[in-house]
Amino acid sequence: MNLKKSRKIFVAMSGGVDSSVSAFLLKEKEYDITGVFIKVWHPEFAECDWKKERDDAMRICAQLNIPFLTFDFEKEYKKEVVDYMIKEYKNGRTPNPDVMCNKNIKFGVFLKKAQEMGADMIATGHYARLKTTQINADKKPQINADDMMYKLYAGIDKEKDQSYFLWALNQEQLSKTLFPIGDLEKSEVRKIAKENNLVTAEKKDSQGVCFIGKIQMKEFLKNFVSEKKGDVLNERGEVIGHHEGAFFYTIGQRHGFTITKKKPDEKPYYIISKNISDNALTVREGDEKESSLYNSNKVEIEKINWISGEKPSENKKYLGRIRYRQPLQNCFVKYNDKKTFVIFEEKQKAVALGQSVVLYDREGCLGGGVIEKIL
């Protein structure tokens, strides 16, 4: 995407190497850059390094000689991301808070505030790419006033590709966005940081959900959802153990519950289903392969977003995934009675309500939806 040198760009600075190199690359192109650290909500009971992350972001901005700002979005983050996640877990679903963070925070309130302060665009350190194509505005007036269609593509680095978390973005958001490192491998990003002596060059990547800190999801949720002891069942419906509340667990999980009726030579158990109304978990012993953990090849999705504004065709084979970094799976889209279904050629492992299904046409991310029913 060719931009005028006078373009003012606000870069979301997390304090990590990816956003640091993103800012560096844009600075090298002589754009008017401002670094912004986004302060989000975090629980008082969990260790959080946000002050250190902010300091690292500030140091990078000082090193690049660009302005540095802090945007406080604690209130918005708590409502749109944290409360959403807790509600979903209470209802026995498996939410994806990163999708909500991108949609409502980074490309929502951050983009809005950046524009209010005079920014033409924002940039983030996501491993994803954008391409534009000219369209006929007379035929598609809902797209963009500049007659451009914005298409989202997977990042070049397949291990780091983050397009899965960006499926809920729309044309307006993408038209104001840059992904400076989407065409780079992670190793290249590290190399650029080291060659230019960026202070975050050797910094390790962050893991997990950012606001939780260094505790497990279950321990986090216990501060908002009361424990409720329930039965662990085998596939014959026999009680063989207990757990602390079905909403704390996810399909495929192998730990966190107690098996009391053990056999000397038994193998580890994993969860194959959960019943929130009965507060019961059903587990299976042994190897996951060819097991009932591969529980479905057809799902109904809601909260749907197609990035181009057009529905995928029913007569075409696509690629899809139900979790980050899952190898892409062959699938089809079907529509019936105003409902949308994604049908995979093979059964998928540990399908759970609340997960995001994201569709691709080769490397192009079409959009997706949230699993509402497993069929």
pLDDT for the residue numbered 43: 83
The pLDDT confidence band at residue 134, using thresholds 50, 70 and 90, is: confident
- 302 and 278 assigned to the same domain: no
The pLDDT confidence band at residue 89, using thresholds 50, 70 and 90, is: very high
- 17 and 155 assigned to the same domain: yes
Cα-Cα end-to-end distance for the chain: 42
| Contact by Cβ (8 Å): 310, 291 | no
Tokens of 298: 């057809």
| Contact by Cβ (8 Å): 36, 110 | yes
311: domain CATH number? 2.40.30.10
Q: Is residue 2 part of a domain?
A: no
Mean pLDDT of 220-238: 93
99: three-class secondary structure by DSSP: helix
- 130 and 272 assigned to the same domain: no
**What is the total residue count of the chain?**
375
Residues spanned by the domain of 245:
226-285
Domain boundary among 176, 195, 214: 195
Indicate the residue type of 215.
I
The pLDDT confidence band at residue 265, using thresholds 50, 70 and 90, is: confident
- 312 and 263 assigned to the same domain: no
Q: How many domains does the chain have?
A: 3
Q: How far is CA 142 from CA 51, 60, 135, 136, in A?
A: 42, 39, 11, 11
- 55 and 127 assigned to the same domain: yes
Q: How far is CA 191 from CA 17, 21, 187, 195, 196, in A?
A: 10, 10, 6, 6, 8
pLDDT tops 70 at residue 210? no
Catalytic residues: 101, 210
Q: How far is CA 322 from CA 96, 140, 205, 350, 361, in A?
A: 11, 30, 23, 9, 15
275: domain CATH number? 2.30.30.280
pLDDT tops 60 at residue 295? yes
For residue 194, count other CB atoms closer than 10 A to its CB. 12
Tally the C-alpha atoms within 13 A of residue 149's C-alpha that lie toward its C-beta. 18
- 270 and 305 assigned to the same domain: no
- Look at 214 and 342; give whichever has higher pLDDT: 342
Domain boundary among 195, 210, 234: 195
